[in-house]
A and B are shown apart, each in its own frame.
Chain A
Amino acid sequence: MVEQEGFRRYIAHIILWIGIAIVAFPVYVAFVASTQDNALIANGQMSLLPGGHFFEVYYQTIFVGTSGSTREPVGNMMLNSLVMALAIAIGKIAISIISAYAIVYFRFPFRMPIFWIIFITLMLPVEVRIYPTYKIVADLHMLDSYAGLALPLIASATATLLFRQFFMTVPDELLEASRIDGAGPLRFFWDTLLPLSRTNMAALFVILFILGWNQYLWPLLITTRDDMQTIQIGIRKMMTTNDALTEWPIVMATAVLAMLPPVFVVVAMQKLFVRGLVETEK
């Protein structure tokens, strides 16, 4: 509308830039700190401009770790985080899509009870059942393992519901045409349904990867060995030591490294990300 021309438009730009500044400032500070000398930071003398220690700090962070006794190269932590995030994302998508397929495209005894059993898990976030879950994973000898990290986080009613909803919108005639074309249930799934679900799977993957990478409480409980730490746990351990001994540039470099993959995913795959976010919340 006419009024939006001119003055108001400038206000909008200014407010948005202030918003961006608020959102970006903490990360900027972290990045700046990760390029400076620890002594300077510890004295409260940190500069708000990048320092000259970028390569040195990041090299030490990724390949060596802190100087403390529980040193662990952050590169290794990132690898653990990556394996866990991929296992959660791929595992969730795989088991959800096949169970949604069974629930939508077959009629079998206990179909609805099974659906409800899966559905109700929406209401049981890992936080409300941590210790019993911990005990079961321990009994299954899965502490300090990738399976223990990923499996309890894999079952997801959200993904099953999403695929179910999508399958319901696929025209019945496609299945009928496939049957006439001689395709059985597995072939229909593989040749037709999976290709049609590609965008949904990709959107879901983006969200699940971010959520997986950012898991904290569960890895905190079940990883005891340093070489199984994820990067989120690594950061916390680096800060555990006495404040005076904390190697802030390395902590901040780790924070930056922890942010990079998920932020990259959000920015690079923005369309899929937005779609995934909106659909999983439906």
Chain B
Amino acid sequence: MANVTLRNVRKTYPGGFEAIKGVNVDVGDGQFCVLVGPSGCGKSTLLRMVAGLETVTGGEIDIGGRVVNQVEPADRDIAMVFQNYALYPHMSVFNNMAYGLRNRGMKEAEIKTRVEEAARVLELSAMLERKPRQLSGGQRQRVAMGRAIVRQPKVFLFDEPLSNLDAKLRIAMRVEIRKLQRRLKTTSVYVTHDQLEAMTLADILVVMNGGQVEQIGNPLAIYEKPATTFVASFIGAPPMNLMSMRTEEIKSQLGGSAGEAGILGIRPEDFVITDQTPAGGVALPLTIEAIERVGAETFIYGSRAQDEQRVAATPGELPPGEVIVRIPGTEAPAIGEKIRVAAVRQKLHLFSGDGRTRIEA
């Protein structure tokens, strides 16, 4: 059991490209840390640096109180689950799990006990003699997990382990992984680009963008108080509505010091359709342009006619002037209808004009 600590970790490629620009993360013993971000944000690189598959060009990686920058992957006492599973195609399920143990010179009897125990937990006992190609996607994924478990490592590393599965299986395996990790209490670092996976799995969520950490914290805390507009639009689906504060209409409603902020954010789920304007909150007149009915809830895509611009925010960017509103599935608005939506003061998120700082007002 061990902590994983990254101190000002950097990765600069020989060509000069800076993939990781100084990352500090502290994962406590037994915690489940999820690195999330859009593709190219450096999350996989960072994980591979923890694994020892990429060299570290600056800072320190500390696993269980030992700086491992120069330690071979095999000697870091970690196990990794790859996106494509990387099972040895010519070895049986049993040998796939046993290989790492044999390389370490473990006794055959002990190997057998461990592999069979892992197979039992993962419900693979009937398939130990099969080759990977005879398994379904979900079974292969479990073998990859089994290969990590039998090692009883200090740290599990997961590199988008569920992204090759279909949607249904992905949700099932997500739950499995979480249950397993709770039971084994092994410190884990998990990379994903799926914010839902990140929210549901993480004890500590690390949102990354452009080789830097945007925000670290408990998933709900991040959802409730995103530190930047990037985090605000990345965490939560559909994304938070971000509006320019230059819009006079909003400025006049908010008033006071809040009026000095550059960007206003409101989550779709925080709007209600009402004619009132809550004190200190905002109200917006909208024309309904499109409606998505998902059953339990309905999403309204409305336009603010008089709005001249909306702050561009990737990902999940909306066209200028568009606002998404979530309402219960029981309500039935119509396209073209004009409505008024409002959000209370506590549900407003204010950011500086460049979107880099959250303003608490």
The chain A residues found within 8 Å of chain B, CB to CB, are: 171, 173-174, 176-177, 179-183, 187, 191-192, 195-196, 198
Contacts and interface: CB of A to CB of B under 8 A. Distances in A.
Given A182-B74, A195-B90, A173 B99 contact: no
B243 interface: no
A14 B56 CA distance: 70
Given A171-B84, A173-B82, A173-B86, A181 B53 contact: no
Contacts of B86: 171, 173-174, 176-177
Given A179-B72, A195-B90, 6 more contacts: A174-B86, A176-B80, A180-B74, A181-B99, A182-B75, A192-B88
Given A173-B82, A187-B103, A191-B99, A179 B73 contact: yes
A180 B51 contact: yes
**Chain A's interface: helix, strand, loop or mixed, by majority?**
helix
B104 interface: yes
Contacts of B34: none
A183 B98 CA distance: 13
Contact of B82 (A177, A187, A195): A177
Interface centre among A181, A182, A195, A198, by most B CB within 10 Å? Answer: A181
B89 A196 contact: yes
Contacts of A191: 88, 99
Nearest 6 interchain pairs by C-beta: A181-B100, A173-B86, A182-B74, A182-B103, A177-B86, A195-B90
A192 B88 CA distance: 7
Contact of B74 (A173, A181, A195, A198): A181
Contacts of A177: 80, 82, 86-88, 147
Contact of B100 (A174, A182, A195): A182
Given A171-B84, A191-B99, A180 B79 contact: yes
Interface of B: 48, 51-53, 72-75, 78-80, 82-91, 99-100, 103-104, 147
A195 B79 CA distance: 24
A191 B99 CA distance: 9
B103 A173 contact: no
B78 A180 contact: yes
Contacts of B103: 181-183, 187
Contacts, number: 59
22 contacts: A173-B82, A173-B83, A173-B84, A173-B86, A176-B48, A176-B51, A176-B80, A176-B86, A177-B80, A179-B72, A180-B51, A180-B52, A180-B73, A180-B79, A180-B80, A180-B100, A182-B75, A183-B74, A183-B99, A191-B99, A196-B90, A198-B90
A73 B88 CA distance: 49
Nearest to A192: B88
Contacts of B79: 180
A179 B154 CA distance: 17
Nearest to B95: A191
A201 B322 CA distance: 61
Contacts of A183: 74, 99, 103
A183 B72 CA distance: 11
Contacts of A179: 52-53, 72-74
Contacts of B80: 176-177, 180
Contacts of A195: 90-91
A196 B87 CA distance: 12
A31 B85 CA distance: 56
